[in-house]
Amino acid sequence: GGGWNNSRDWDKREREVNPFDDDVNDKTDGAEQAFREQENTGINFDAYEDIPVETSGENVPPPVNTFAEIDLGELFNQNIRRCKYVKPTPIQRHAIPIALAGRDLMACAQTGSGKTAAFCFPIISSIMREQYVQRPRVARTVYPLALILSPTRELSCQIHDEAKKFSYQTGVKVVVAYGGAPINQQLRELERGVDILVATPGRLVDLLERARLSLQMIRYLALDEADRMLDMGFEPQIRKIVEQMDLPNRGVRQTMLFSATFPREIQRLASDFLSNYIFLAVGR
């Protein structure tokens, strides 16, 4: 495994490991089915028209009104259409331009507001642009470019499923790792290549301690439902991952922190993990 860390191997890697690749689809039709099952989500867009949005920080990039206003590329636009996303939700309208501008972000938004696309779109489109980046080759160690931390197995799998749909046929590889499941299978999956890793904090520490995974190449770090991760007692693991392993420092990586609430502990995480960040609150 791991033979795809340079540009020459990119096409081969995509063919071999992307489960949504055409060759595979001929047999399983996996993504086609996932897109067909994509229902109209019941997001009430009219109710969003007068939802309060607050932003603060230096030079806040203006929000967009449509997905077409952001240059995510034709492949990506097709996937947005396949997902039946017609127009961006408020968090997406504001957060996507902020993230595409390379800024750190502290976003307060409720579950179901469309956070997943808000952090996945910029991450995936940036990785598509730098897909030929040279990664180290050290025996059996993998070097993802983006890390998404989430509190539970269920949420991690949801993010993984969504991210796979958004990255369909782009060659960007998304892998999920969570606790309470055999680690060996996850290690094998990682070895087949990973650009975006979605993980729960405990399992990630485990993988890092086995030295089979390095965070040295991470450019994008997203923490989803940070308040819930703290409620679940994950602060030591999160601090270890962000502050004590080989993850690039803030200001070098780009960091997005999402939380439904903004209590003192989250404010402290924001001031420790983010650099010259933009604060965004949607709703209430």
CA separation, residue 140 to residues 16, 19, 218, 244 (Å): 18, 21, 17, 22
Residue 4 or 85 with smaller CB distance to ligand ADP? 85
Residue 18 or 116 with smaller CB distance to ligand ADP? 116
For binding to ligand ADP (CB under 6 A), which residues are involved? 41, 43, 85, 88-89, 92, 111-117
Quote the least distance from Cβ 283 to ligand ADP, whole Å: 11
3-class secondary-structure state, position 228? helix
Residue 85 or 277 with smaller CB distance to ligand ADP? 85
Contact 190, 267 (CB under 8 A): no
Radius of gyration of the chain (CA): 18
Residue 68 or 211 with smaller CB distance to ligand ADP? 68
Quote the least distance from Cβ 92 to ligand ADP, whole Å: 6
Q: Tell me the residue ranges of DSSP E strands in 115-162.
A: 146-149
Contact 173, 195 (CB under 8 A): yes
Quote the least distance from Cβ 111 to ligand ADP, whole Å: 4
AA identity, residue 85 = Y
Quote the least distance from Cβ 253 to ligand ADP, whole Å: 21
